[in-house]
Every structure is written in C-alpha cells, then in structure tokens.
Amino acid sequence: MQAARGYGHTSHVNGKMQSNVQVPINSSVVGFVTDTRAKQPADVPRAVATLLDVTKQLQEMLRLWSTHQVDEGQVSDVYVRIGTEFNATVTAFQHYNIDLSDLYSIPQELRTVLENCLSEEPSPQVFEMYMPQVRQIMYNLLQGLRGKQSAYWRAVGGRQTSQ
C-alpha cells in the first residue's frame, strides 16, 4: 500500500508553508520484504551497488528540489526506488541466510526526514537544514551493509578483496 502523493493542498501558517505531502512508501519496506524483482537474488554486490547509487540520486534530487529544478513528486519517485532497491538488497542477502532486519528502520527514518523536508518551501537553506539527517541515515545504511560483508564472503566461500 502506498501513501497518496500530496500535490494538492498547500497553505501558509505563521509565515511557513504547510503541505499535505506524503512520501510514498512500499509497505514491504518496513519489516516485511515481499519484492522479489531483484535482478539476480543472489547478486549481493550488484544489489548493494544499485542501492547506494539510488541513495546518491536522492541526495542530488533533493539539491535540485531546493533550487526549484525538480518537484517533490520527482524526489518521492527516487525515494520509492530506494525502497525497491532496499527490498532487492534484503532479498539478495536472504539468499545467503544473512539477516538485515537491523536495517529495516532505515527506509522509515528516511521517509520521515523527507516528509519534513518536502513540507518546507524549497530553498538552499532548507536543503542545508535537512541534509545532515539524510546523510546520517545513508551513513547508517552503509555501515550496516559493511557489517554484513564478512558474513557474505563466508557464505560464498571467498574472501573479501581489498577495495
């Protein structure tokens, strides 16, 4: 189930823009992974690389939103892609019986920050205000994935090569 994208209602309260924007979220992102569209369920490196690429796209999309070059719907679309790629990554790790449940809160944390950000009037100042939170969430995701590397390499019977 996805939340409706709020394009319609916007009002100003105490000089601040108020919006009914809701960032769509795939309900399977938080706790229950049901998306089986991973390119190759066992291709952990590809799944992780794609997820990290989409997180970079989100950061760039937020920058563009802050300068009125894209709208909130385009930012939300990238967030939905993050949910899809997050599910694909979880599925890939599950193929090797590696549990990522400690990362299930990441999409919801990101959603909350994005909803707060997108409810503001786009500006570079708003971008600078919310980006530290977005970056922290992305850092937590990256660290969580890094923490699973040794289990993955053990599962595939190989060693991690130097990066």
| Predicted TM-score (pTM) of this structure | 0.73
Range of the domain at 51: 41-148
CA–CA distance, 75 with 2 (Å, rounded to integer): 15
Q: Is residue 115 part of a domain?
A: yes
The SS3 of residue 44 is helix
Quote the number of domains for the chain: 1
Q: Is residue 102 part of a domain?
A: yes
Q: Is residue 11 part of a domain?
A: no
Q: Is residue 1 part of a domain?
A: no
pLDDT in tens, the chain (163 residues): 333 333 333 343 444 444 444 444 443 343 334 444 444 447 999 999 999 999 999 999 999 999 999 999 999 999 999 999 999 999 999 999 999 999 999 999 999 999 999 999 999 999 999 999 999 999 999 999 999 999 999 998 875 554 4
Helices 124-146 and 105-118, interaxial angle, to 10°?
Answer: 180
